[in-house]
Amino acid sequence: MTACTDLELTMHGAVAVVRLTRAAKRNALNDGLILALKDTFSSLPPEARAAVIDGDGAHFCAGLDLSELKERDAGQGLYHSRMWHNALEAVQHGPVPVVAALHGAVVGGGLELASACHIRVADASTFYALPEGTRGIFVGGGGSVRIPKLIGVARMTDMMLTGRVYNAEDGDRVGFAQYLVPQGEAFAKALELATRIATNAPLTNYALMHALPRIAEQPADQGFFTEALMAAIAQSAPEAKERVKAFLDGKAAKVQQS
């Protein structure tokens, strides 16, 4: 495990809370933090069934630590980007679903980190930007793959060409976040959701993290087939049978409007 004082892991029941604790630098992600994120999500405690990522201070994350950028040549830049890819891959395709608690700046690499999570909860102070465009660089943490899946290629192009910043409400409207809550309430809502996710059958969570994104990328014919395989595996698990029986016996919750 990489020693890093800027990342903290605590367990809240079955939820692993991973917190960026570099508020003095607006949680900018230096190499140490990126490696620590990778290590943390690659070796979560076995009792973890879901995770939350949060950031200390007024901002979720100011993106890449720009003070480290000036030291790299092209080859080092390539390896550096691949290091980010590996780390954020560990978040997206790690063992458990991850909920991001967004507030303040969610910019550059911070937005790339948020987009690697499975659910994003934003509070009213949240704003989204890709300042790479105006800094003369490009996204390197998987943003060009993940962000268009949330908001579309045209909106991402606009953000990078013009420096456009989306506020919390507009970000919610275009698809950055699935939940918008009052200022200061993102962590509580993210923890509530993660606590609920942690009670799902692990195979259902696995299917949503690993099968659904792949099926969505497949041609329909292959997607239907992969879906059928995943459905068969999930419903054959003893836990699925128990949960269905509990409903039929009147012992499980009905679907209810909130």
Q: Catalytic positions, please?
A: 112, 132
Residue 26 or 103 having the CB closest to ligand 1HE: 26
- Smallest gap, in angstroms, from Cβ of residue 12 to ligand 1HE? 27
Beta-strand relationship, 166-167 and 119-123:
unpaired
Number of residues that bind ligand 1HE (CB under 6 A): 21
Residue 170 or 239 having the CB closest to ligand 1HE: 170
Answer yes or no: are the C-beta atoms of 122 and 102 closer than 8 Å. Answer: yes
Per-residue binder mask for ligand 1HE (CB under 6 A), 93-132, x = binder = ------------x-xxx---------------------xx
- Smallest gap, in angstroms, from Cβ of residue 99 to ligand 1HE? 22
Q: Which stretch binds ligand 1HE (CB under 6 A): 25-33, 40-48, 90-98, 181-189?
A: 25-33
Instruction: Decide: is 33 part of the binding site for ligand 1HE (CB under 6 A).
Output: no
Per-residue binder mask for ligand 1HE (CB under 6 A), 128-167, x = binder = ---xx--x---xxx--------------------------
Residue 70 or 251 having the CB closest to ligand 1HE: 70
Per-residue binder mask for ligand 1HE (CB under 6 A), 50-89, x = binder = ---------x--xxxxxx----------------x-----
State the residues that interact with ligand 1HE by CB under 6 A: 25-26, 28, 59, 62-67, 84, 105, 107-109, 131-132, 135, 139-141
